[in-house]
Amino acid sequence: MYARRTLAALVLAGAALSASQAHAQARDPVAAEALFRAGRAAAEKGDYEAACSRFRESQSLDPAPGTTFNLADCEEHRGKLATAWELFTRVASALPPGDDRVKIASGRAAALEKRLPKLTITLAQGAPGGTAVRRDGVDIGPATLGVPLPIDPGQHVIVVRAPGRDDHTTTVDIGEGEQKTIEALPTSASAPAAVEGVSPRRTAGYVVIGVGAASLVVFAATGIAVLVEKGTFDQHCMSGLCDMTGFSAGQSGQKLGTASGASLAAGLVAVAAGTVLVLTSGPGKKPTTALLPSAGPSGASLSLLHRW
């Protein structure tokens, strides 16, 4: 393992990172140094999860090549080979050519490169315009598609998004040194589901049925009133002679009878018409059979309706 600023036989060269540059980047160098030492202590105990976390925080507070190198070493111990490879490569690129650490960092990166898994993501033919691909929450640009990219061993989640379609999620497991290709395939376009009971024709049918039902209620009420008037008429009329109460009951009964018959006819017609509207609404052409009431001058009846 390497110290943050000086590494045993490898001394941090000030030529590449001047004091002014370090000062410009620093946010809290004191805390960064403390976190770096805490990371080293955790790494020496084999707690690489804690060590990597502390190295990352130290680097964010005060970037330094020694911290990056230790973080790379830590990630390699965690099995994050691609992450460690990128960090070692970054250290080698950041240091001046004459720095002894360039050779060490480059050698570690080269050793890791032979072990890297590589994943190639391609976009399926016929994918709609605007299709987007994400790997582990990171967007994969068009230039990246079809290119074998180093990746950490383990499980990775590929999400394909296309306009007007559900996300398509694929999980891929890849091991050390493996090379895999996965085709990013959007979900199939689905036709919008038909919505039942919202057609104007069906709505009108239910309204007409409601009007018919109300008319039948009037028919029932007036029919009862006719019976009451008939009873009064029978009590006050004898041999065709009626007193004033019987005469009034007779006239009222005739009017109520006419209204009752009209309500029955109107109600039956409305219910029949509304039922026809409901049965013939909608996109489907399923056969339907129903009994429909009807009314005429000679009385009410039931009709059999069958729609093919």
pLDDT digits over 131-143, tens only?
Answer: 999 999 999 888 9
* 16 Cα distance to chain centroid: 50
- Closest by CA position to 49, among listed 80, 18, 88, 89: 80
> What digits encode the pLDDT tens for the residues 29-59?
999 999 999 999 999 999 999 999 999 999 9
Question: Which of the four pLDDT bands, split at 50, 70 and 90, describes residue 212?
Answer: low
Sequence-distant (≥ 6) Cβ neighbours of residue 89 within 8 angstroms: 105, 106, 109
Structure-block tokens of residue 70: 């230790």
Its pTM stands at 0.54
Would you give the end-to-end CA distance of the chain in angstroms? 84
Top CATH class, 118-184: mainly beta
Whether 71 contacts 87, CB under 8 Å: yes
At the topology level, CATH places domain 6-113 in 1.25.40
State how far the Cα of 58 lies from the Cα of 61, in Å rounded to an integer.
5
> What digits encode the pLDDT tens for the residues 57-66?
999 999 999 9
Structural domain spans, the chain: 6-113, 118-184, 200-307
Is 118-184 the same fold as 6-113?
no
Type and span of the H or E element at 172: strand 168-174
State how far the Cα of 42 lies from the Cα of 48, in Å rounded to an integer.
7
- The dihedral over CA atoms of 240, 243, 244, 250, expressed in degrees to the nearest 10, equals -30
Question: Which of the four pLDDT bands, split at 50, 70 and 90, describes residue 253?
Answer: low
Considering only residues 251 and 198, tell me which one the structure prediction assigns the higher pLDDT.
251
> What digits encode the pLDDT tens for the residues 151-188?
999 999 999 998 888 899 999 999 999 999 988 888 87
SS3 71: helix
Considering only residues 77 and 281, tell me which one the structure prediction assigns the higher pLDDT.
77
Mean pLDDT score across all residues of the chain: 78
